[in-house]
Amino acid sequence: MSWIKFLGTGGARFVVIKQLRASGGLWLNLSDTNIFIDPGPGALLRCLSSKPKLNPADLDGIILTHRHIDHSNDINIMIEAMTNGGFKKKGVVFAPKDALEKDPVILYHVRNQVDKIEILREKGSYTLGNISFSTPVRHVHGVETYGLNIQGENSTISLITDTRYFDGLESHYDGDIIIINVVRLEEKEGIDHLSLKDAEKILSANKPKLGILTHFGMTMLKAKPWELADKLSKKLNIKVIAARDGMTINLDTV
Ligand SMILES: [Zn+2]
């Protein structure tokens, strides 16, 4: 069975610093390859307290979509945990260049613990074990940021991480499952995040088999994301759900 587990569904600073939702990122298991995506604050804790427990030593790699702290905070400890405290050199870390350069979020001393660090680039294609994925376009998000199209055995998964909406965004992410980081309920000038309206635009253009809203900021949380997802489902006539902390999606049945 292939699956994806949400170890966090909170986004942006206030939801994260108050931990109104967890912020541990996503664990993806695809045909027995395990990749962790965006290990934000609490990623390690959420793995170990997960039921059943997720063992970071089983990971084959880690993807960082961008360097913001709600996505990257636990990356160093997750690298340590993946590599048995640095004693078992293994795994690949994928990250944008600016996560590794000035004021790097990936510490120099843990870089030697992994087999390889691969730099994410616009229009890049990457493979790790049974997983291949691409980073079709650079997002508009202050720091270097890439979303993912992940090729599964029977389905493709698009993960639209943080970005401001830009023309044609939806044309880059046409997965069977589309996961969207929806931080804001309403659009706001000068904010580099997607709003609910942007998510609706993307889902109605691409009509995935399943749309998943996640990475909620305060305005989304207050508006009850599960009700908003329900309304979207009915309006667009596609299945849309709001992610919950600890939720697992069986990718074989989507
Ligand atoms: Zn961000």
**pLDDT tens digits in sequence order for the chain, 254 residues long:** 899 999 999 998 899 999 999 999 999 999 999 999 999 999 999 999 999 999 999 999 999 999 999 999 999 999 999 999 999 999 999 999 999 999 999 999 999 999 999 999 999 999 999 999 999 999 999 999 999 999 988 889 999 999 999 999 999 999 999 999 999 999 888 899 999 999 999 999 999 999 999 999 999 999 999 999 999 999 999 999 999 999 999 998 88
> What residues contact 148, with CB distance under 8 A and at least 6 apart?
37, 63, 65, 133, 134, 135, 157, 158, 159, 161
For 199-225, what is each residue's pLDDT tens digit? 999 999 999 999 999 999 999 999 999
- How many whole angstroms from 72 Cα to the centroid of ligand 1? 10
- How many whole angstroms from 68 Cα to the centroid of ligand 1? 5
pLDDT at 253: 87
- How many whole angstroms from 86 Cα to the centroid of ligand 1? 28
- How many whole angstroms from 67 Cα to the centroid of ligand 1? 7
pLDDT at 174: 95
The pocket of ion ligand 1, defined by CB under 5 A, consists of: 68, 162
- How many whole angstroms from 62 Cα to the centroid of ligand 1? 17
- How many whole angstroms from 1 Cα to the centroid of ligand 1? 31
- How many whole angstroms from 253 Cα to the centroid of ligand 1? 30
- How many whole angstroms from 162 Cα to the centroid of ligand 1? 5
- How many whole angstroms from 69 Cα to the centroid of ligand 1? 8
> What residues contact 249, with CB distance under 8 A and at least 6 apart?
3, 4, 5, 177, 210, 212
pLDDT at 107: 97
Which amino acid would we find at residue 142?
G
pLDDT at 240: 98
> What residues contact 218, with CB distance under 8 A and at least 6 apart?
12, 14, 15, 20
- How many whole angstroms from 87 Cα to the centroid of ligand 1? 32
Strand pairing class (177-184; 156-160) = parallel
- How many whole angstroms from 66 Cα to the centroid of ligand 1? 7
pLDDT at 27: 98
- How many whole angstroms from 216 Cα to the centroid of ligand 1? 12
Q: State how far the Cα of 212 lies from the Cα of 252, in Å rounded to an integer.
A: 16
pLDDT at 175: 97
Strand pairing class (116-120; 248-250) = unpaired
pLDDT at 159: 98
